[in-house]
């Protein structure tokens, strides 16, 4: 019997600016193959909510049926990714006794139990858990362990980072997808899936910052020792920069957006004198000129504030000097010229637009598609060692019983 069952997996990144979808052919033997990718302009999604269900569902219908037609492949289940502006995150903590008296060997069951309790304590009533990342365990109050499995102890503590979303939002997403004729298979944080698609395990081990710069928010993920150590979602997206240009130079928003893309540049030290010239723009019926340097003078302090905020997050995580693999950036905001150079200067580590780890054919802008690709080829490396979310995805009863028996065996022999 062949175990190599091929499946078609669809990832859909619900961005504020664009919906991005990817179809991948996945089996147990070969590397996943991308068989379709597409984007459409988003309508009906605002900052942190769905403002028009019909618009969103029409967009989903268009992008997914388009992929179906082009690829001639059929699918119904979709893995949804939500951007940082939809996600809240916090640290949570729990402590459990391991044995009535004496010591006990810590099993996966104990770890699952404490993860579960910490998550329950960290989630509010109107929220749904999206991811959990065990950051650290403490055995007997002093022994810090990334993975306590097999250690002896009397009590176990867990510090867990959780990412949650409003239940109403999740319900609305389900509704929009169903209305479009598809089913939601999973919901994930798209920046995390981007990171999974772009970072090698070695990057996560050596330490790196992964930045996803979207429309309304910038997500900052800090990895070290192979796990997500800290997560920051800054209320600071590429749209604010357009608004700033529009306000300070007194230009309509759309024009400010064009100028941002074509002429804006973050100036780093010496190159400030080099930016000269004027931009000719059409305004009403006539043309006006805008000094290019004045655009850069709006963009530079804005970008510096963003870089400073990212720096603060890294310092809070106490990882400033442990980011050997450098900084990786994705999302449309990463295309702002000079931004990566200013990050590189601030952090003194290599900074680049992230590359997707699996082979992709002729993608003109892979950094924008990283989220949907990650959703379609997910390797689900949410954390160590057993993410709480997986507790709900257990197998058959027989599997559970044999698993528990194995654990009891480990515990007593
Ligand atoms: N060349 C460019 N220079 C600067 N900014 C750009 C450029 N191209 C696109 N952007 C900005 O990138 C943003 C869109 O990024 P992206 O496609 O990653 O958003 P999204 O995934 O839809 O949003 P989100 O992740 O916030 O939901 C827009 O604000 C756009 O102005
Ligand atoms: Mg995005």
284-303 burial code (b ≥16 CB/10 A, e <16):
eeeeeebebbebbbbbbebb
Please list the alpha-helical segments (H only) found in 52-208.
53-71, 108-122, 167-179, 190-198, 201-206
Weakest mean pLDDT among 38-42, 47-51, 112-116, 230-234: 47-51
What's the alpha-carbon Rg for the chain, to the nearest Å? 23
Q: In the numeric block, which tokens belong to residue 311?
A: 């720096």
pLDDT in tens, 19-38: 999 999 988 777 888 999 99
Residues in Cβ contact with 242 at an 8 Å cutoff, skipping those fewer than 6 apart: 253, 256, 257, 260
Q: How far away, in angstroms, is 214 Cα from ligand 2 center?
A: 5
Pairing outcome for strands 104-105 and 18-26: unpaired
pLDDT at 389: 44
- Ligand 1 shell residues, CB under 6 Å: 15-18, 83, 85, 214-217, 237-239, 242, 257, 260-261, 331-333, 335-336, 368
CA distance 354 to 344: 14
Interval between CA 98 and ligand 1 midpoint (Å) = 49
| Among protein residues, the one whose CA lies closest to atom 14 of ligand 1 | 332
4 confidence band (pLDDT: 50, 70, 90) = low
Atom of ligand 1 minimally distant from the CA of 45: 27
137-169 tens-digit pLDDT:
999 999 888 889 999 999 999 999 999 999 999
- Ligand 1 atom at minimal distance to the Cα of residue 367: 18
- Which residues are placed with Cβ below 5 angstroms of ligand 2, an ion? 15, 83, 214
The confidence band for 344, taking pLDDT boundaries of 50, 70 and 90, is: very high
Q: Is residue 247 within a helix (H) or strand (E), and if so which, with residue range?
A: helix 238-248
Res 277 pLDDT > 80: no
DSSP string, 165-220: EEHHHHHHHHHHHHHTT-EEEEEEEHHHHHHHHH--HHHHHH-EEEEEE-SS-EEE
Domain spans, the chain = 88-166+386-412, 201-353
59 CA → ligand 2 middle, Å:
16
Beta strand 351-353 with 326-330: parallel, antiparallel or unpaired? Answer: parallel
Tell me the pLDDT tens digit for each residue of 384-412.
Answer: 333 334 434 445 677 667 767 766 666 66
Ligand 2 centroid to 152 CA: how many Å? 44
> Which one of 279-288, 295-304, 398-407 scores highest in mean pLDDT?
295-304
Residue pLDDT, tens place only, 74-115: 999 999 999 999 999 999 999 999 987 778 899 999 999 999
Question: Minimal CA–CA distance to 223: which of 201, 240, 208?
Answer: 208
Choice between 59 and 47, residue whose per-residue pLDDT is larger: 59
Question: What's this model's pTM, rounded to 2 decimal places?
Answer: 0.89
For atom 28 of ligand 1, which residue has the closest CA?
215
User: What's the rounded mean pLDDT across residues 117-132?
Assistant: 95
Candidates 3.30.70.360, 3.10.450.350, 3.30.1490.110, 3.30.43.10; correct CATH number of 88-166+386-412?
Answer: 3.30.1490.110
Q: How far is the CA of 353 from the centre of ligand 2 (A)?
A: 14
Ligand 1 atom closest to 371 (CA): 21
Higher-confidence residue: 3 or 347? 347
Give the Cβ contact number of residue 365 at 10 Å: 14
**pLDDT for residue 227:** 87
3-state DSSP of 349-407: CCEEECCCCCCCCCCCCHHHHHHHHHHHCCCCCCCCCCCHHHHCCCCCHHHHHHHHHHH
- pLDDT band at residue 5 using 50, 70 and 90 as cut-offs: confident
- 201-353 adopts what CATH topology? Nucleotidyltransferase; domain 5 (3.30.420)
The best mutation among 14, 17, 86, 233 to test binding of ligand 1, ranked by most ligand atoms within 8 Å of the C-beta, falls on: 17
CA 237 / ligand 1 centre spacing (Å): 8
Pairing of strands 77-82, 7-14: parallel
**318 vs 123: which has the higher pLDDT:** 123
Residue 102, phi-psi category: left (phi > 0), alpha (psi -120 to 50), beta (remainder)? left
Higher pLDDT, 351 or 292: 351
Strand ranges (E), 203-295 = 208-213, 218-224, 227-234, 278-283, 286-291
Angstrom distance (rounded) from CA 187 to CA 166:
12
pLDDT confidence of 307, banded at 50, 70, 90?
A: very high
Q: CA dihedral in degrees (338, 340, 343, 349; nearest 10)?
A: -130
């Amino acid at each position: 019997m062949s175990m190599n069952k091929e499946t078609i997996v669809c990832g859909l990144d619900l961005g504020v600016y664009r919906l991005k979808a990817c179809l991948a052919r996945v089996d147990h033997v070969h590397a996943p193959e991308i068989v379709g990718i597409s984007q459409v302009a988003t309508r009906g999604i605002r900052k942190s909510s769905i403002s028009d269900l019909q618009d969103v569902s029409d967009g989903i219908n268009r992008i997914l049926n388009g992929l179906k037609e082009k690829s001639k492949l059929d699918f119904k289940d979709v893995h949804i990714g939500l951007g940082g502006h939809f996600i809240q995150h916090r640290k949570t903590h729990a402590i459990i006794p391991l044995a009535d008296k004496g010591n006990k060997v810590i099993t996966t069951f104990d770890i699952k139990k404490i993860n579960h309790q910490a998550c329950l304590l960290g989630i509010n009533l109107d929220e749904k858990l999206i991811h959990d990342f065990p950051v650290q365990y403490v055995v007997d109050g002093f022994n810090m362990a990334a993975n306590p499995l097999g250690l002896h102890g009397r009590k176990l503590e867990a510090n867990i980072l959780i990412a949650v979303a409003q239940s109403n939002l999740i319900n609305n997403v389900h509704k929009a997808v169903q209305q479009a004729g598809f089913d939601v298979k999973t919901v994930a944080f798209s920046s995390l899936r981007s990171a999974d698609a772009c970072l090698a395990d070695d990057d996560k081990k050596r330490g790196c910052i992964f930045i996803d710069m979207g429309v309304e928010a910038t997500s900052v993920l800090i990895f070290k020792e192979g796990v997500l150590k800290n997560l920051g979602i800054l209320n600071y997206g590429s749209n604010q920069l357009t608004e700033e240009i529009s306000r300070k130079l007194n230009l309509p928003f759309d024009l400010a957006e064009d100028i941002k893309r074509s002429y804006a540049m973050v100036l780093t030290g010496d190159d400030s004198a080099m930016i000269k010239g004027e931009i000719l723009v059409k305004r009403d019926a006539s043309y006006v000129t805008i000094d290019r340097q004045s655009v850069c003078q709006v963009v530079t302090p804005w970008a510096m504030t963003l870089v400073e905020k990212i720096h603060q997050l890294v310092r809070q995580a106490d990882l400033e000097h442990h980011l050997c693999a450098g900084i990786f950036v994705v999302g449309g905001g990463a295309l702002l010229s000079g931004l990566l150079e200013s990050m590189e200067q601030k952090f003194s580590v290599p900074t680049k637009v992230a590359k997707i780890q699996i082979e992709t054919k002729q993608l003109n802008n892979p950094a924008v598609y990283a989220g949907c690709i990650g959703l379609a080829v997910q390797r689900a490396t949410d954390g160590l060692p057993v993410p709480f979310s997986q507790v709900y995805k257990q197998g058959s009863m027989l599997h559970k019983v044999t698993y528990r028996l194995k654990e009891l065996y480990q515990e007593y022999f």
